[in-house]
Amino acid sequence: MTTTKNIVRVTNVTKTFQLGKIAVHALKGVDLEIPTGQYVSIMGPSGSGKSTLFNMIGGLDKPTSGKVYIDEVDVSQLDAYELAWLRCRKIGYIFQTFNIIQVMTALENVTLPMTFAGMHNDEAIEKGMDLLDLVGLGDRFQHKPFELSGGQQQRVAIARALANDPAIILADEPTGNLDLNTGEEIISLLQNLSHERNVTVISATHDIKMLNVSDLVVWIRDGRIDKTESRDELTISIGRIDARSA
């Protein structure tokens, strides 16, 4: 990368859910710029709007107002095909609940996005095996999700997210359903990927462990960005958190 540019740019995004007569303001004007290749954590209490922001960045939902740019392309201007293309090729999703397709094997899950992207079957299988090797599940490729542990399922999800060499990996509480150790393994796996492949990782979390590996931390509170801190500013905050939790 010769020039550092922003892979994601969010300008003045609001999102209001209309529940009958009540309007829930999940996001109240968010501005955010995320540079390419960074590991970004979005921190905030439950209900602060992390998942909502995620869905906007991932092109899974449309903002009520404001704009989301992925690679300087306005997501709201895309038609159904282009949106599907974006989800398929540009973004890899990882969820708290893994969301591995239950009726497919690990390998089939990983190769599905490649099929959508038009890759030849043999090539897809070869690449799928490589990716499963990368996440340490090379020997489990024929297993169905229910034969895998939570951590292993999340590894499959990571391999699947990498299928089409996305520019961005969006992870919504990827460690939320995992125990401490497994969570740490998943976090370091994501961090390595981010560095080795220059993939931008954006991850929402309550998990303080995430802070150590983040290049940028965005604190969100009640639908607004509280503050953003880069790695060097962070040590101070972590000290504070440690002191608080001790």
Partner 1 sequence: MQDSVGPTNAEMSDPGISRQVVLPLRKSVEIAYNSIRVRFFRSLITTMSLVLAVSFLSFVNVSTDVANGLLATGDPELRQALVRAGYDLKPEDRRADSSPKQRWIVLLSLLVCAVGIVNAQLMAVTERFREIGTMKCLGALDRFVLRLFLLEAGMQGLVGAAAGAVGGAFFALMNGVFFFGRQAVVLVPVGDLLMSLSTATAAGCLLSLIGVSYPAWVAARMQPVEAMRVEQ
Ligand X SMILES: Nc1ncnc2c1ncn2[C@@H]1O[C@H](COP(=O)(O)OP(=O)(O)OP(=O)(O)O)[C@@H](O)[C@H]1O
CB of 40 to Mg ion, least distance (A): 16
| Contacts with ligand X, 45-84, as mask; x by CB under 6 A | -xxxxxxx--------------------------------
Stretch that binds ligand X, among 6-14, 40-48, 75-83, 118-126 (CB under 6 A): 40-48
Residue 136 backbone dihedrals phi, psi, to 5 degrees: 80, 25
Residue 22 backbone dihedrals phi, psi, to 5 degrees: -90, 135
Token output for 62 = 């449309």
Rule CB under 5 A: say whether 51 interacts with Mg ion: yes
Token output for 152 = 């292993």
Rule CB under 6 A: say whether 205 interacts with ligand X: no
Give the span between the Cα atoms of 203 and 93, in whole angstroms. 10
CB of 137 to partner 1, least distance (A): 18
Q: Report the residue number, 51 or 200, with the smaller CB distance to Mg ion.
A: 51
Q: Which of 31, 82, 126, 133 binds partner 1 (CB under 8 A)?
A: 82
Give the span between the Cα atoms of 86 and 128, in whole angstroms. 20
Give the span between the Cα atoms of 43 and 158, in whole angstroms. 21
With CB under 8 A as the rule, give the number of residues binding partner 1.
Answer: 45
**How far apart are the two ends of the chain, measured CA to CA in Å?**
41
The partner in contact with residue 17, picked from ligand X, Mg ion, partner 1, none with C-beta cut-offs of 5 to 8 angstroms by kind, is ligand X
For partner 1, the binding residues in 31-70 under the rule CB under 8 A are 36-37, 55, 58, 60-61
Rule CB under 5 A: say whether 48 interacts with Mg ion: no
CB of 227 to Mg ion, least distance (A): 20
For ligand X, the binding residues in 13-32 under the rule CB under 6 A are 17, 19, 24, 26
Q: Which residues contact 112 (CB under 8 A, 6 or more apart)?
A: 101, 104, 160, 163
Q: In the beta sheet, which residues pair with residue 169?
A: 92, 201
Stretch that binds Mg ion, among 46-54, 154-162, 181-189, 192-200 (CB under 5 A): 46-54
Which uninterrupted H or E stretch holds 181? helix 180-197
With CB under 6 A as the rule, give the number of residues binding ligand X.
Answer: 12
CA distances from 70 to 42, 67, 77, 150, 214 (A): 17, 10, 11, 31, 20
Q: Which of 47, 118, 138, 239 binds partner 1 (CB under 8 A)?
A: 118
Give the span between the Cα atoms of 6 and 234, in whole angstroms. 21
Q: What are the residues binding ligand X (CB under 6 A)?
A: 17, 19, 24, 26, 44, 46-52
Q: What are the residues binding Mg ion (CB under 5 A)?
A: 51
